[in-house]
Structure 1
Amino acid sequence: MPHHDLAAELLSGFFLLLEEDPPEVIFLVGPNHEAAGPPVITGRRPWQTDFGLVEVDPGAVDALVGLGLAAVEEDVLAREHAMGTLMPYIKFHAPEARVVPLILHRGLSRADLERLAGALAAELGPGRILVASVDFSHYLTRPEAEAMDRETLATITAGDLDRLLQMGPEHLDSPGSVAVLLTAMAAAGADGPTVLGHTNSGAILRDDLIETTSYFTFVFTHR
């Protein structure tokens, strides 16, 4: 799902689906835009929103830290909009849900991403979901963005992690987050992805000349 407020319609549509069966825990993985701190960052502080606090699941955070898969770095995490943008939606649509925030540097190895994905897959189950907070093509015109998005979606649908991890911001801002999602979903035996929505900022603003950011929402479901 996206992490720009401009894509609010896609965000709201996704979270309205969650209202039907609100999760208890949301594992939330996304980019570290600042590229600051350790390779994978998490934290234990709650997130303040206009609708109240979003609490963190301390047991899950401690488990990932204990396995050496993430490190706590509260200040970097607090500044990351890939996490912060989603917290009001989470609190409004799934008010009792706890989160496990994880932000990733670019350049993590496939082996490191697979280890993280394996640990997350083991934590999933009824009431416990994994969400990737990712924006797709950047800095392109609307037609260029739509062509690039078709290429990225084909790579994701094929599960081609090697190709995915070679992609730059012209395709998406966090290949590692999507790789973690794909690997965890395969380990969990899920079907997908099913695309719920796709657009870009040029389409939203009705301007084909601006540099765009593109957005997808897609889901995996239990077999």
Structure 2
Amino acid sequence: MCAAGQFRRGGREYWRPIGGLGFQVVAVLRKPLERCNEPSNWPYPIAPLVLASDKGDAGEPPHLRFLRTGPHTPEGVRDYMLSAYRRIPMEAGNQDVYRDAYRALATGEAETGFLVHCAAGKDRTGIFCALILDELGVDLDTVIADYEMTNEAVDFDALIPRIRDRIMAEHGQAMEPSMMRIFLGVDGDYLRQAFETMGGVDHYVREHLGITEDERAALRARWLIG
């Protein structure tokens, strides 16, 4: 349970870009402590069905621990990211949300609006989006190209100083900007590492998520044209 005084509330202006999109379901891949420290606080009239998991480490999230402690070298950052993509698809909490989100998309529960996010919207989220695209028959090169659009869509020059200031304020030290650019970006090799860890999407969806063939067929029937 969240401790008193632990909540951080954002202003309504943060919700305006998405408030009119009408999404019905939001899949939240942040760990319990992340959600506790920074709750979403959906403002009226946004009232989606929230898919989240209470499973997971109650301590400091691994990405925040790495930001604080390192090793902050190009090799160290890359090694951490590869290890994260081996860890993320196998964590029980992530699998819970992946499973529920998959079924929401397959049943039509999220047909008029669906949002998935984590802390940065690229790793836990990126794996789930890639998983769904693969399930819908998108070829791997296109899946990876879609995933790598993060490197073009994110304004790193604006984002990095804000994150550094926060880490400095909370921990007294922070990763250098050049290393943070690697940390906050994506690389197709990371996603390939996740798929390899899964043992392939087919195996992962059936054996780890427990999605049935009927549910897989329903996903394709609902989201594919023709």
TM-score higher than 0.5 here? no
- TM-score, structure 2 as length reference: 0.37
Q: Which has the higher strand share?
A: 1
- TM-score, structure 1 as length reference: 0.37
Q: Which has the higher helix share?
A: 2
- Give 1 or 2 for the bigger CA radius of gyration: 2
